[in-house]
Amino acid sequence: MESTLKRTWSEIDLDALKHNYKVLRARVGENVKFLGVVKADAYGHGAVEVSRTLEENGADYLAVSSIDEAMELRVNGIKMPILILGHTPKEQVGRLIEYDITQAVTCLSKAKEYSNEAERHGKPLKVHIKVDTGMSRLGFLCEGQYFDTGVQNITEAVNEPFLNAEGIFTHFAVSDEPGEEALEYTKHQFRLFTDCIDAVEKKSGKKFEIKHCANTGAVAKYPEYSLDMVRPGLLLYGYGEFAKDLGLRPVMTLKTVVSTIKIYPAGTKISYGGIYTTTDTTRIGVLPYGYADGFFRCLSNRCELYTTEGLAPQRGKICMDMCMIDLTGKPGVDIGSEIEIFGVHNPVEKLAELAGTIPYELVCAVSKRVPRTYIKDGRIIGKELMLRM
């Protein structure tokens, strides 16, 4: 573990996470529940430590994408309610009940399956109904001509004897997009969602305790859509334009070190394919960071990494385990010097834009051979390597 720590590693600033949570909590107010989305190993930040921090600071709910992700939290002592947003096979209903995990229900046939399984275990399964209001992914369809059947099916689902429908939710497709069209689309999704809830509550005679729809875009731009609970992911981790506007801090810093330095004459081709040729005497550093660590090969020869003497251009094709940077004119950067791949000095947003993607993808891509260091109260409180040792 110690040996790998000074190769390439990520620093997870739990103080920044706490700060982000507090800022967002103040924004939504005390009367709205707060669900932290920690799917995909908390967007690559480590779901257990992130969840512990949220739990300590008073968050109300967590969301993951699968039962395995939910179980990881339970076996590591997380007691908060956990919602599984994605599919769980009916064979796992017993475990959902045993570990007090809430399951999203996305259609009537699954509602029936889950209820039947729960009955076999003699206990109700806690569920949140998922409504498709325009994301066109999971959920009971209730747009336009489907409104009445949607309401009918949800009513039947919540009346299933072994389902406890604690909540109902929908997901916005364009809440984070600028422009009038996105605003109208989001408004329409919201109205359809609340109309659908009203109709189901009237028809079933049951009230949903937790209605929720606000993801990052909505928390930032439509605070009036908070309902009973907000459900941000990206904002918590402090990335994207909204995070900046709200004064949030990036939680992950990805670092590596210079492993080798060599000086080449002009005319030297660097790395596979020889796409970069030196034009002068050039001091090249080799970094133990490649696409198998989560670097995007499409960034080859197009990005910069941050050294103690400022930004250094990355040169030539990015390899599986290594890449090269130009350290010419940076005499203070030597073998063993730390390089910030992304973080406070070299924002992940900039790399994401260059790669034609979103920050979500870069933080999720940090691979399991990259160990994590967790920082709390300004001190290192834990180190973690995902490899089987």
Ligand X SMILES: *Cc1c(COP(=O)(O)O)cnc(C)c1O
Q: Which residues of the chain form contacts with ligand X (CB under 6 A)?
A: 37, 39, 85, 171, 215-216, 231-234
* Phi/psi at 126 (5° precision): -80, 130
Q: Which residue lies nearer to ligand X by CB, 170 or 256?
A: 170
Q: How does DSSP classify residue 326?
A: E
Which tokens hold the place of 367? 């691979």
Half-sphere exposure at residue 387, Cβ-oriented, CA atoms within 13 angstroms: 9
194, exposed or middle or buried, with CB in 10 Å at 0-12, 13-18, 19+?
middle
- Whose Cβ is closer to ligand X: residue 9's or residue 140's? 140
Amino acid identity of residue 83, one-letter, is: L
| Shortest Å, Cβ 332 to ligand X | 38
**Angle CA 46–50–52, to nearest 5:** 125
SS3 (DSSP) at 121: helix
Is 191 buried (19+), middle (13-18) or exposed (0-12) by CB count in 10 A? Answer: exposed
| Minimum CB distance to ligand X, residue 183 (Å) | 17
Nearer to ligand X, 216 or 278 (CB): 216
Collect all residues with Cβ–Cβ distance below 8 Å to 381 and sequence separation of at least 6. Answer: 14, 374, 375
Residue 104 Cβ, how far from ligand X at the closest point, in Å? 8
* β-strands 282-287, 323-326 pairing: antiparallel
Q: Which is nearer to ligand X, 233 or 238 (CB)?
A: 233
Q: Which residue is nearest to ligand X (CB)?
A: 233
Of the residues 79, 272, 350, 368, which is catalytic? 272
Reduced to 3 states (helix: H, G, I; strand: E, B; else coil), residue 294 is coil
8 A C-beta contact, residue 273 and residue 28: no
H and E: helices and strands count for the chain: 14, 21
CA 18/CA 240 separation, integer angstroms: 18
Name residue 207's amino acid. K
Q: Which two tokens stand for residue 212?
A: 């929720």
**Residue 374: active-site member:** no
The distance of closest approach from Cβ of residue 232 to ligand X in the complex, given in angstroms and rounded to an integer, is 4
Q: Which is nearer to ligand X, 59 or 318 (CB)?
A: 59
Q: Which of 18, 21, 33, 39 is catalytic?
A: 39
- To ligand X, the closest distance from the beta carbon of 354 in angstroms equals 21
CB 215 → ligand X: shortest distance, Å? Answer: 4
Neighbours of 76 (CB within 10 A): 12
Q: Is 244 a catalytic residue?
A: no
Q: Kindly list the catalytic residues.
A: 39, 272
